[in-house]
A = this chain, B = another copy of it.
Amino acid sequence: MTKTGATTDIVLADWGTSSLRLWALDRQGHLLEERRSDSGMGTLSRDGYAPELQGHLAAMSVPDETPVLICGMAGAAQGWQEAPYLEAPTGFAALADGAITITGQARDIRILPGIAQRDSANPDVMRGEETILHGLVCNGVLDGTVCLPGTHSKWAEIEGGRLVGFRTMMTGEMFALLGKRSILRHTVMSDRWSDDDFIAAVGEAHADPSRALASLFGLRAGPLLFGDAVPHGASRLSGLMIGAEIASCLQDDGRPLHLAATGEVAAHYARALTGLGIGFDMVDAELAVRTGLFDIASILWPDIIPERMQGGTTA
Residues of A participating in the B interface, judged by any CB pair closer than 8 Å: 116-118, 120, 122-125, 152, 167-170, 173-174, 177-178, 181-183, 209-214, 216-218, 221-222, 224-226, 230, 244-245, 247-249
Query: Residues of B contacting A168 with CB < 8 Å?
Result: 217, 221
Contacts A/B (CB < 8 Å), 23 sampled: A116-B225, A118-B225, A120-B230, A123-B221, A123-B222, A123-B230, A124-B217, A124-B218, A124-B221, A152-B183, A152-B217, A168-B221, A169-B213, A170-B182, A173-B183, A177-B177, A177-B178, A181-B181, A209-B213, A210-B210, A213-B213, A213-B248, A214-B249
Q: How many copies does the complex hold?
A: 2
Report yes or no: A173 in contact with B182, Cβ–Cβ below 8 A: yes
The CA of A182 and the CA of B170, in the complex, are separated in Å by 9
Q: Which residue of B lies closest to A219 (CB)?
A: B123
Report yes or no: B183 in contact with A217, Cβ–Cβ below 8 A: no
Report yes or no: A221 in contact with B177, Cβ–Cβ below 8 A: no
Query: Residues of B contacting A177 with CB < 8 Å?
Result: 177-178, 181-182
Taking a contact as CB atoms closer than 8 A, the residue among B183, B218, B230, B248 that contacts A214 in the complex is B248
Closest CB in chain B relative to A268 CB, distance in Å? 17
The CA of A230 and the CA of B117, in the complex, are separated in Å by 14
Taking a contact as CB atoms closer than 8 A, the residue among B125, B217, B225 that contacts A169 in the complex is B217
The CA of A244 and the CA of B214, in the complex, are separated in Å by 9
**A177-B182, A182-B170, A225-B116 as given contacts; A123 in contact with B213, CB under 8 Å:** no
Q: Which residue of B lies closest to A215 (CB)?
A: B122
Closest CB in chain B relative to A64 CB, distance in Å? 36
Query: Residues of B contacting A226 with CB < 8 Å?
Result: 118, 120, 123
Query: Residues of B contacting A244 with CB < 8 Å?
Result: 210, 213
The CA of A210 and the CA of B247, in the complex, are separated in Å by 8
Query: Residues of B contacting A120 with CB < 8 Å?
Result: 222, 226, 230
Closest CB in chain B relative to A120 CB, distance in Å? 6
Taking a contact as CB atoms closer than 8 A, the residue among B125, B230, B245 that contacts A221 in the complex is B125
